[in-house]
Structure 1
Amino acid sequence: MTRFQAGRPVGNQDYTSSTVVIIGAGISGLCMAIDIIKRSQCRNLVILEKGSQVGGTWNDNRYPGCACDVWSTLYSFSFEQKTDWTREHPGQEEIRDYLIHVAEKYGLYKYIRFNTTVQEARWDDKELKWKVSVATSGAKEPQFHESYDITTDFLVSAVGQLNVPSFPSIPGLDDFTGKLMHSARWDWTYDFAGKRVAIIGNGATCAQIVPELAKSVSQVTVYQRTPNWVIPRYDTSVSFIQRFLLSYVPPIRWCKRALMMQAREFSHDAIAKADSAMSGYIRKIAIATMKSQVCDKPELWDKLTPEYSPGCKRLIPSDDFYPALNKKNVHLETRPIQRIAESGIETVDGDLQEYDLIVAATGFRSVEFMHPIQVYGRNGRPVSDVWKDGAAAYYGVTVEDLPNFGMLYGPNTNLGHNSIILMIEAQSRYLSTLIGEVVRAKARSDSLVLQPRPDVVAAFNDRLQEQLETSSFADPHCHSWYKLENGRITNNWPGRVVPYQKDLSRVRWEDYVVEGTGKSLVERKKTTNIGRVQEELPVRSSTLVLGALGAALAVGGYYMNGPQALLQRRR
């Protein structure tokens, strides 16, 4: 029976209020929730998820061939390492299943409200709380309430950078009478057999889709604006023996993960520094791979060779994209698109090609962080005003004029060389420290408001942009989802992972404006040391040589053995 107190039911009295609200139940949201429960000692939290399952981008993206570019060994949480990956580069379903396992093991489902889309978040300067306005969908929820507000002491955005699909701005897109779909909203009910398919965009998604579609469709045409650097992926299955050893001999698992992390860290210069020897070698690898695998169509070689440095756009590891382009039913179109007609695509020279299906593999609205959520901070200031010159944050986690607010995988935290999970864990530990102070203040019936000092945020981002201006990401010869039209880079981190982790291994309270009745206890601390998860091998005299050798062997095998073998086969 439902108990009543003062004329109202007790069971769901906190449905519209929570100490912490997390937006998103992907990798970031799950990690944040676990840290809040374990490190902040708080169970009064709500996770708002627009989809019907956990997984975030790995639940949304279900196109054929969808897989991770990062080694599977590095693509699980340090505290919940998956030891039985079936491939060195895991597929979408295996990653999603892993995240479902994490949510189940840590009891997170009871905190998640699925089919719930956040429309607005507004800070209340009087109540010192966020009011989050949401809309519900699905079969039953709208019958109870189509929308409602939930108040919270601390708001965390875990929506990431790759969640809102971006369609190309091409005249006539809505006039097409055939099937149109975005790669991130794949329709598996559509029968592809024997169809004529056009794919607009030739990035990482295209490189994964084309080889799969080419197996069953009559024709695939890739509409390319600019070419990408494509290197071998060397994806292989993980043997039963290796899975057994990784599961039951932890030192082997730790060693493999540490060596692979160091190998990825070692590869940083190949991605971020255009004038480095490694960057030059990447060019040689990519060109050798292309000429070997597109051997029947040498007329495509120039069209597939970028004029910008590796790293300016996302480097594409693939073992089967070039072989697919070499097939007779796969075509590369480099003439600019004039318009979309009812029956197909017309290029600038007036040539009209008819298609049954057009796939927009055109990525996401990545530089529009948190879009389309309307966020209003202190004094009603919209985040669009805070970010009028481009999204910026303090280490990508806290934002000027947004009190008691945190972000995961926020501005300038994307990586081109290593696993983003390594960054997310550092961010989650840092934010859980801020949240912990707010939680403890609330338990004492005190108020506590934390926001980064504007001068600290500005100084940090000035230093950051100075580093980015000399990186491969800033190469003016390419357009990428990393940067704005004016060239400002809003998405990528310029350095390696370990320095970032070290920077976030402590909270310097002098970097924050601290307000509320509980501020004195926080200000008195000066610094809170959080520590970090050290996954690289310890740098000691006994392991330095081993670590360097292991990293060199791993990187060498990944970046060098393939092209050497290719060159040998061509002799």
Structure 2
Amino acid sequence: MSHTRNRQYAGVLITGGGISGICTAIELIRRNNFRDFVIVEKSSQFGGTWNDNTYPGCCCDIWSHLYSFSFAPNSSWTREFAEQEEIHQYLIRVAENWGLYQKARFNTEVEEARWDETKNNWKVKLRVGGGKEAEYGEYYTMTCDYLVSGVGQLNNPYYPKIPGLETFKHKIMHSARWDWTHSLEGKKVGIIGSGATAAQIIPEVAKVCNSLTVFQRTPNWVSPRGDRPISATRQLAFRYLPWIRKLYRSHLMDVRESYHRVAAVLDSNEGSSLKQDALDHLACQIPDDIELREKLTPGYPVGCKRVIMSDDLYPALNQPHVTLETASIDSITSNGIQVPGKEYDLDVLILATGFRTTEFLYPIKVYGLGGKSMEDIWKDGPCAFLGITVESLPNFAMLYGPNTNLGHNSIILMIEAQARYISAMLAPMLKARANGQAFTIIPKSDRLKEYNASIQARLNASTFAHPSCNSWYKTSDGVVTNNWCGTAVEYQKLLSTVDWDDYEVSGYSQAFDPRNKVEKVGRVVEEAQVPFIGLSTIMVVLAAIVAGIVSKSSFFVP
């Protein structure tokens, strides 16, 4: 038999084909020239959240030129804030360019991962989701030397625990599972939720429905978005003068980094300024309805929940056929939603209720040293050293893990730093494997506790922990498990070296001796290194030369 394809072993198994999985795979190739990895993805395509979320109005609230990989710039973004389809196509293109489709297994979901202490590797149980491959066997097990989780925080939809939800006899859609075969034209629509996702859906649904009722638990701070097309002239300049594109990205990064004080520092001058801008924005867009403005004015500090960026949310809510309901929901009936003293009859119910963000890795069952389950490991709450490695889980790493989310900047800046760090941490394992040794690495328990205590101390003093608001950043008992405590640059610098004294390491006798060593990882320096404002005129002139015309639009006003 000549066919020797091994489907049950990989040096590295990466779970998830979104931004984290794509970035990790590419870093393994770039840094280590390593291709013995497999990416398993439960959906049918690369893209992660940008593959799953296709609801009307879906877009990014980070500038396109910052919401992209530093090693895979895109000069052809068509808008300052890209829409879902354009971001998804970008991620597919990056995966294609790096040959990742050869390494991917789609419609494949991880059900369980168990560390084998006798063989020092992971046994990962996979379920095939459908199609021809499922006919051969719905389940199979893979062995890997190293397991990387790239499932992220915005993965599994959260369905609210509202009495009667299952009794609603008409159409129910979660925003992350949008059904485009079901028309909303002329329908009576209800939306539960008023966060960032709802803010994008509401203006689009309001254009076609007969009536729209938005059920709001708490209002949000809303800032103007200022989206606009990126002209063909600017795209040409970004393509043929890449240093202009790099300077523009640096400018955007600096602007967003400065926003950290707005998002995280309680009672900062910057936060007060944004609060006033948001109030002015509300008054400008809803000038005549005081009662509606009051319903839309938060009673908590700016930043403790993610600030919504929108130019069309308030005008949509101010239309006659749109109702903002702020009373608590008593129950869902077969025909609608019951609030105190009133029932709304609905044809369609949209759940813009977010994700199970604080349940990292859910619903994957993970068992580490001694068969210890993830529930036991994290019985006191999710935590990971640098947000990457976890106690009792050897040869394991995760991206976009506990305390690595940002409230102010592009998450891709964090993911790239994590992927570089993981790739560097994997390098000695690859040397050990070449020598037939079983290299294992696990964070020291005391070092992890020290690290977690230090960041929680900072987070407890931040806006994120403010008791007056609930958010997906923190658990029900108020612990901030999702957000990072500082700036993106601070985190990048923290991950620019691997200090092997932070880890318990074995199997290195001939391949690698980690004792008293610090390995330099480096980081991609993208913040501006020269003053930006003085260069604007020169850049516009050069862009005009490239395009052959004089652009009337400013290059560098986000």
TM-score tier after normalising by the smaller chain length: over 0.9
Partners in 2 of 1:274 and 1:289 — Cα distance?
A: 22
* Equivalent in 293, 297, 307 of residue 305 of structure 1: 297
Determine if the alignment matches structure 1 residue 336 to structure 2 residue 328: yes
Which of 427, 440, 448 is matched with 1:449 structurally? 440
Matched-pair contact (CA < 8 Å) for 1:41–1:436 = no
For 1:276-295, what aligned pairs fall within 5 Å after superposition?
Answer: 276-295=268-287
Residue aligning to 1:220:
212
**CA deviation profile, 1:476-519 (whole Å, cap 9, x unmatched):** 00110000111100000011011110110110000000012548
Shift of 1:119: 0.3
Deviations 1:203-247 (A, max 9, x none): 000000000011110011100000000000000010111111111
Q: Does 1:42 align with 2:34?
A: yes
Name the residue aligned to 2:378.
Answer: 387
Structure 2 match to 1:551: none
The one-letter amino acid of 2:345's match is: E
For 2:442 and 2:280, the matched residues in 1 are separated by: 51
* Secondary structure in structure 2 of the residue aligned to 1:486: coil
Deviation of 1:41 (Å): 2.3
Instruction: Tell me the distance in 2 between the aligned counterparts of 1:534 and 1:259.
Output: 12
- Post-superposition offset of 1:298: 2.1
SS in 2 for 1:52: coil
- Alpha-carbon displacement from aligned partner over 1:402-454 (angstroms, at most 9, x marks no partner): 10000011100000110000000000000001112111110111111001101
CA distance in 2, matches of 1:544, 1:289: 28
In structure 2, distance between residues paired with 1:173 and 1:522: 58
What is residue 504 of structure 2 aligned with on the other side?
513
Residue 205 of structure 1: aligned partner: 197
What amino acid sits opposite 2:370 in the alignment? Answer: N
1:521 CA displacement: 2.1
Q: CA deviation at 1:282?
A: 1.1
**Could you give the per-residue CA deviations for residues 331-366 of structure 1, whole angstroms, max 9, x where no partner exists?**
10001000000000000x231110000001000000
| Structure 1: gaps (5+ residues) | 4-8, 548-553, 559-571
Answer yes or no: is 1:119 the counterpart of 2:111. yes
Q: For 1:90, what is the secondary structure of its paired residue?
A: coil
Equivalents in 1 of 2:482, 2:119: separation in Å? 33
Q: Which residue of 2 aligns with 1:97?
A: 89
Per the TM alignment, residue 251 of structure 1 is displaced from its structure 2 partner at its CA by 1.3
Task: Return closer, same or farther for 1:340/1:507 CA change in 2, 3 Å cut-off.
Answer: same
Report sequence identity in percent: 50
Q: For residues 30 and 363 of structure 1, what CA distance do their matches in structure 2 show?
A: 23
Residue of structure 2 equivalent to 1:54: 46
Paired residue for 2:368, among 370, 373, 377?
A: 377
Partner secondary structure for residue 336 of structure 1: coil
Separation in structure 2 between the aligned mates of residue 440 and residue 43 of structure 1, nearest angstrom:
14
The more displaced of 29-38 and 156-165 is 29-38
Residue 427 of structure 1 corresponds to which residue in structure 2?
418
Measure the CA separation in 2 of the matches of 1:267 and 1:484: 24
| Contact 2:332/2:338, CA 8 A, preserved across alignment | yes
SS of residue paired to 2:125:
strand
Q: 1:155 aligns with which of 147, 153, 156?
A: 147
Which one-letter code corresponds to 2:273 in the other structure? Answer: Y
* Cα shift at 1:274: 2.1
Deviation at 1:191, TM superposition (A): 1.1
Q: Which residue is equivalent to 1:480?
A: 471
Equivalent of 2:70 in 78, 85, 103: 78
Query: 1:466 is aligned with what amino acid?
Result: A
Q: What residue is the counterpart of 1:568 in the other structure?
A: none
Contact 2:128/2:138 (<8 A) preserved = yes
CA distance in 2, matches of 1:148, 1:525: 41
- The amino acid of 1:189's aligned partner reads T
Q: Does 1:140 align with 2:132?
A: yes
Deviates more, 1:151-160 or 1:242-251: 242-251
1:312 counterpart letter in structure 2: C
- CA separation in 2, counterparts of 1:137 and 1:394? 33
SS at match of 1:165: coil
Q: Within 5 Å, which residues of 2 pair with 1:161-560? A: 161-347=153-339, 349-516=340-507, 518=509, 521-524=512-515, 526-538=517-529, 543=531
Q: Which amino acid aligns with 1:146?
A: E
Separation of aligned partners in 2, 1:171 and 1:518: 60
How far apart are the structure 1 equivalents of 2:533 and 2:327?
Answer: 52
* Distance in 2 (alpha carbons) for counterparts of 1:506 and 1:81: 25
What secondary structure is seen at the aligned counterpart in 2 of 1:440? helix
Distance 1:334 1:158 in 2: 37
Q: 1:545 Cα shift? A: 8.5
Q: Which residue of 1 aligns with 2:542?
A: none
Deviations 1:42-62 (A, max 9, x none): 211110000000000000000
1:544 positional shift: 8.8
Counterparts in 2 of 1:544 and 1:361: CA distance versus 1, 3 Å: closer
How far apart are the structure 2 equivalents of 1:263 and 1:208? 23
1:83 match: secondary structure: coil
Deviation of 1:520 (Å): 7.2
Question: Post-superposition shift, 1:295?
Answer: 2.4
The residue identity in structure 2 corresponding to 1:85 is W
Q: Report how far residue 543 of structure 1 moved.
A: 4.2
CA distance in 2, matches of 1:370, 1:51: 16
In structure 2, the CA distance between the partners of 1:35 and 1:525, relative to structure 1 (3 Å rule), is farther
User: Does structure 2 conserve the Cα–Cα contact (< 8 Å) formed by 1:228 and 1:316?
Assistant: yes
1:48 to 1:436, Cα distance in 2 relative to 1, 3 A:
same
State the superposition RMSD in angstroms.
1.7
- Maintained 8 Å contact 1:448/1:519: no
Q: 1:525 and 1:516 mapped to 2: Cα distance? A: 16
Mind listing any 5+ residue stretches in structure 2 that lack a counterpart? 536-553
Q: Offset of 1:546 from its aligned partner?
A: 5.9
Partner of residue 547, structure 2:
none
What SS does the corresponding residue of 1:245 show, helix, strand or coil? Answer: helix
> TM-score w.r.t. structure 1 length?
0.93
Letter of the 2:130 counterpart: G
Verify the 8 A CA contact 1:296 1:326 in the aligned structure 2.
no
- Measured in 1, the distance between the counterparts of 2:503 and 2:32 equals 19
Q: What amino acid is the match of 2:298? A: P
Q: Distance in 1 between matches of 2:462 and 2:533?
A: 29
**Residues 401, 342 of structure 1: CA spacing in aligned structure 2 closer, same or farther, 3 A cutoff?**
same
One-letter code of the match for 1:430?
Y
TM-score by length of 2: 0.95
Cα distance in 1 between the residues matched to 2:223 and 2:557: 13
* Structure 2 contact 501–515 (Cα < 8 Å) conserved: no
